[in-house]
Amino acid sequence: MNRLEQRRILVTGAGSGIGQATVLRLLSEGAAVVGADVNAEGLALTRKHAAEAGADTRLTTLEMNIGHEAEVIAGVKSAVETLGGLDGLVNAAGILRAAHTHETSLDLWNQIININLTGTFLVTREALPALLANPSSNVVNFSSTSANFAHPYMAAYSASKGGIQSFTHTLALEYGKRGLRAVSVAPGGIKSGITDATPGYLPQDSDWSFLGRLIAIVPQDNPAELASPENVAGVIAMLISDDGRFISGTEIRIDGAAHT
């Protein structure tokens, strides 16, 4: 299926997890992609997987830290020049840290907000002129089920993801008449670099009964495992394609009914 043939897409967080799976899915549907990440080793693995699928000629990788404004300005400019324009943006980059709220330092709060919320803003801001040069374009931002449902020990992370949802709503209204669609995806219970690292960030006295509320209801191949990143990548491909042409200004929750 080549729904995305001739589409030019920038994906952040492309070196692991859902971002990596998204890059590979978009390539499989014919898109030309710039995959950006702060992790050079992760980007090399993404390129390796793309080469194995015979799609690496349409992939360019880019080291970029979305928490640094100068890097974002230079990186997005490079991506637009490489692709010859921009039709879509997927802001998948982000971090998760966990702590009791009363033990969360200002530095930790600011780190999470800076990467997740401000980083999403910076990349979008720099990409908007190229996106709006087209009669139709789209932005897919990464929220989380934590934006709407209580996730313990993740106050800063949840706040950043709620901010992303509000930011996405504004984009959809402000630029909708110029052909831009903006949507958030809200994954939960998906295996990624973030979820792999989460147990190491949780407080030692965490109440695991709280976290049991986050388990998917929809059966998985292995009930003990989280769902694969490809479950989210397929939704993103739909949103980027014309199949998602009437979806904008909203969130799509992808959590196997865990929060129903």
Q: Which of 189, 183, 188, 187 is nearest to 251 (CA)?
A: 183
Cβ atoms of 93 and 68 within 8 Å: the answer is no
Q: In a 3-state reduction of DSSP, which class is residue 219?
A: coil
Q: How is residue 237 written in tokens?
A: 């491909």
Per-residue pLDDT tens over the stretch 125-142? 999 999 999 999 999 999
Cβ neighbours of 47 (radius 10 Å):
18
Q: Give 173-186 pLDDT, tens digit per residue.
A: 999 999 999 999 99
Tens-digit pLDDT profile for residues 20-75: 999 999 999 999 999 999 999 999 999 999 999 999 999 999 999 999 999 999 99
Domain 8-254: give its CATH architecture.
Answer: 3-Layer(aba) Sandwich (3.40)
Q: What is the dihedral sign for C-alpha 212, 218, 219, 222?
A: negative
What residues have CB less than 8 Å from 49, skipping those under 6 apart? 20, 24
Of 153, 157, 175, 201, catalytic: 157
CA 26 to chain centre: 13
SS3 at position 214: helix
Answer whether residue 194 shows pLDDT above 60.
no
- What is residue 150's predicted lDDT score, i.e. its pLDDT? 85
3-state secondary structure 23-92: HHHHHHCCCEEEEEECCHHHHHHHHHHHHHCCCHHHEEEEECCCCCHHHHHHHHHHHHHHHCCCCEEEEC
> Active-site residue 201, yes or no?
no
The residue type at 15: G
Q: Quick one: pLDDT at residue 199?
A: 58
Considering only CA atoms, which of 45, 16, 59, 33 is closest in space to residue 237? 33
